[in-house]
Structure 1
Amino acid sequence: MSSSSPIPSAAATPASAAAATASIKNLPVNLFASVMGLAGLTSAWRGATHMFGASDAIANGIGVVTVLVFIAMAAGYLAKWSRFPQVVRAEFTHPVAGNFFGTVTIAVLLLSSVVAPWSVTAQQLLWTVGAIATLILSYIVVARVMQGQMAGNNVVPAWLIPGVASLDIAVTGATMPMAWAPQVNLIALAIGTIVAIVFFTMIFSRLVHGDPLPTAMIPSLMVMIAPFEVGFLAYTNVTHQVDMFSALLFWFGMFMTLVVGVRVFRPSVTFAPSWWGISFPLAALSNAALKYASVNGSTPLMILAGLILAFLTVAIAVLFVRTLHSLFSGKLLSA
């Protein structure tokens, strides 16, 4: 007796269904956070070459990957912008998603540091473009918030990204030779510091008094440590010293890492592109720990810096592999 039951085909699998609906229209702007994380990892391994004697090839290899990922992301999002401008416009004007455009300008700023050993001209060009774009975005975001009528549930950790973006101007621009660069760094440090303080307070209040964050946004809690660790790097780069105030920033950032880390790193929080939101805050923490340890010369601090760098490296490697799998299976760009 022959069976008339249909034979399952590849076309019926979830992976093939996702691939069928994949479109550049669904490329999330927050995926630029991958460039931020990789650039931060590059800087951290460059710091490790001085502290631990690590090979330059590690940092240079990660740097090359960072540049390639940025090119791919820039090409992809420009294609999305040209084909679906209304979708990009809706993202930019959204009270939550709009903040993730800060990942684009931060990526450009951090890329200037990545290419610095290879081309001073490219470094200065990228930093100038990134600084201008970041200051414009900071103005837009703050002006938008001050219009009022903002729903409480829209006050989320992602709001900190534009503030942190301004701080990154000072992080990456402290060595710029242009006569106007020092004042731009001070302007950026002023804007980033105050915006980060105000937004951090608002977000903290929302987390205490408001509804719990949706599961998909749990990884963004790690952004709560960024103002302190990026602030440490920006402040020390501009002042050229690690003093008590910068130490307070570093240690409170460590404290916040422990507080939010137990909420983020849980099996119940499934993988999504938003997970890249953990990479840059951790990279900032790693770079800050390496710098703090190098100045203090304490063995426990050097061990701590090494452990943070190891955790950062493993975390980004896992995110990178999971993202590639999601891309080639069609899930990353599926509706």
Structure 2
Amino acid sequence: MQSMTAVEKQRSIGSIQFLPVNLFASVMGISGLSLAWREANKLLGTSTVIADICGILAIAIFIVLGISYLVKWVMYPQKVKNEFIHPVMGNFFGTITIAILLLSSVIGSYSQATGQAIWVIGTVLALVLGFVFVARLLNGNYNPENMVPALLVPVVGTLDISVAGGQMPFPWAREINLLSLAIGGVVALVYFTLILSRLIHHAPMPAGLMPSMIIMIAPFEVGFLGYTNFEQRVDSFASVLFYFGLFLFLVLFFKVFKKTIPFGASWWGVSFPMAALSNAALKYALYTDAWPLTVIAVIVLALLSIVLLVLFVRTLNILFNGKLLKG
């Protein structure tokens, strides 16, 4: 009787073989929200309680997703292989490395040694993944229709090395951060141009991929955070990165947030770019000490918090009604 109940429950929730790798973007977004609320403490004097709660939640989700995806890999290796070699979905494996790098910053707030160890792991994985995906793209015969914003995810992973590692005490950390900025900055610029060309000259992307358009702001806002963390200052170049990312977000916001776009795991693709924008806005407002920038930072942080709360609730809803893990 119990076994039949377990089978019925599995059928109602779905199968782990259909667990999408892009769900790791939820860890990115919630980690980014934690870091944003910690930055808000510096600018606005807000409590760090929300940052702590979001950090714990991000760690818990990563552990659950990590174990679940390892089980999927063991039980359904072909499914994982197909996902990895897919020209679009494969790019979301970068969400795992970015999640690790962001968690290094979250955990580093409580234990520097643990945060540093996690950063080293995330750095190695991000560089390896960046190499693999750039090399794969250069094999040729790439379908222009697959030149979508998700292509930026592994590249943003290399930029995040300097975001999380700007203050690392290792003697070699400076050169690794420079390497990550060089790879992420140049490749992101090339990819961004190719993606713009595809969006302008080809058919619109499928509805399921529309939320990922927000990823296009990530190279600029993550670039801002990585560059300023490395240089320990905000200069005109950093300001250009921040303002263009903000402008692009306003353009894309009205294209992405529509009721006509169905909800699914792909919606988590909006979380981390918005979190990067929020962190960048808070940092820039702290630097300029001008009330208009402070207002922008507060608005973006509030919007990010609301969006992630809605995404979290709706994801739980489709998980328990069987739509998330349904083939």
Name the TM tier (shorter chain): over 0.9
What pairs up with 1:249-260 in 2 under 5 angstroms? Answer: 249-260=241-252
Q: Which runs of 5+ in 2 are unaligned?
A: 1-7
Q: Which SS does the other structure have where 1:115 is aligned?
A: helix
Conserved in 2, the CA contact under 8 Å of 1:113 and 1:123? Answer: yes
Asked whether 1:74 is paired with 2:77, we answer no
Conserved in 2, the CA contact under 8 Å of 1:26 and 1:334? Answer: yes
Asked whether 1:169 is paired with 2:169, we answer no
Conserved in 1, the CA contact under 8 Å of 2:126 and 2:157? Answer: yes
Opposite residue 235 of structure 1, the aligned amino acid is Y
Asked whether 1:102 is paired with 2:120, we answer no
> Which residue matches 1:222?
214
Asked whether 1:53 is paired with 2:40, we answer no
Report the alpha carbon displacement of residue 20 of structure 1 after superposing the two structures with TM: 3.9
Please say which of residues 198-207 and 113-122 is displaced more in the overlay. Answer: 113-122
**Using the alignment, how far apart are the partners of 2:14 and 2:259 within structure 1?**
27
Pick aligned residue for 2:302 from 290, 307, 310: 310
> Which residue matches 1:323?
315
What pairs up with 1:130-145 in 2 under 5 angstroms? Answer: 130-145=122-137
**Using the alignment, how far apart are the partners of 2:201 and 2:155 within structure 1?**
23
> Which residue matches 2:32?
40
Asked whether 1:185 is paired with 2:174, we answer no
Conserved in 2, the CA contact under 8 Å of 1:219 and 1:275? Answer: yes
Q: Which SS does the other structure have where 2:94 is aligned?
A: helix
> Which residue matches 2:3?
none
Aligned pairs, number: 320
Q: CA RMSD in A?
A: 1.2
Conserved in 1, the CA contact under 8 Å of 2:221 and 2:280? Answer: yes
Report the alpha carbon displacement of residue 219 of structure 1 after superposing the two structures with TM: 0.0
Report the alpha carbon displacement of residue 17 of structure 1 after superposing the two structures with TM: 10
What pairs up with 1:146-157 in 2 under 5 angstroms? Answer: 146-157=138-149
What pairs up with 1:280-299 in 2 under 5 angstroms? Answer: 280-299=272-291
**Using the alignment, how far apart are the partners of 1:208 and 1:76 within structure 2?**
38
Pick aligned residue for 1:88 from 80, 99, 102: 80
Report the alpha carbon displacement of residue 19 of structure 1 after superposing the two structures with TM: 3.9
Q: TM-score, normalized by length of structure 2?
A: 0.96
Asked whether 1:24 is paired with 2:16, we answer yes
Opposite residue 240 of structure 1, the aligned amino acid is Q
**Using the alignment, how far apart are the partners of 2:123 and 2:257 within structure 1?**
33
CA deviations on 1:214-259 (whole Å, 9 max, x unpaired) are 0000000000100100000011011111001100000000110011
**Structure 2 CA distance for partners of 1:131 and 1:231, relative to 1, 3 Å:** same
Conserved in 1, the CA contact under 8 Å of 2:13 and 2:319? Answer: no
Asked whether 1:239 is paired with 2:252, we answer no
CA deviations on 1:180-237 (whole Å, 9 max, x unpaired) are 1111101000000011000000000000001110000000000010010000001101
**Using the alignment, how far apart are the partners of 1:316 and 1:237 within structure 2?**
25
Conserved in 2, the CA contact under 8 Å of 1:18 and 1:334? Answer: no
**Using the alignment, how far apart are the partners of 2:148 and 2:44 within structure 1?**
38
> Which residue matches 1:201?
193
Conserved in 1, the CA contact under 8 Å of 2:12 and 2:320? Answer: no
**Using the alignment, how far apart are the partners of 1:118 and 1:61 within structure 2?**
13
Q: Which SS does the other structure have where 2:108 is aligned?
A: coil
CA deviations on 1:134-158 (whole Å, 9 max, x unpaired) are 0000000000000100011111000
Q: TM-score, normalized by length of structure 1?
A: 0.94
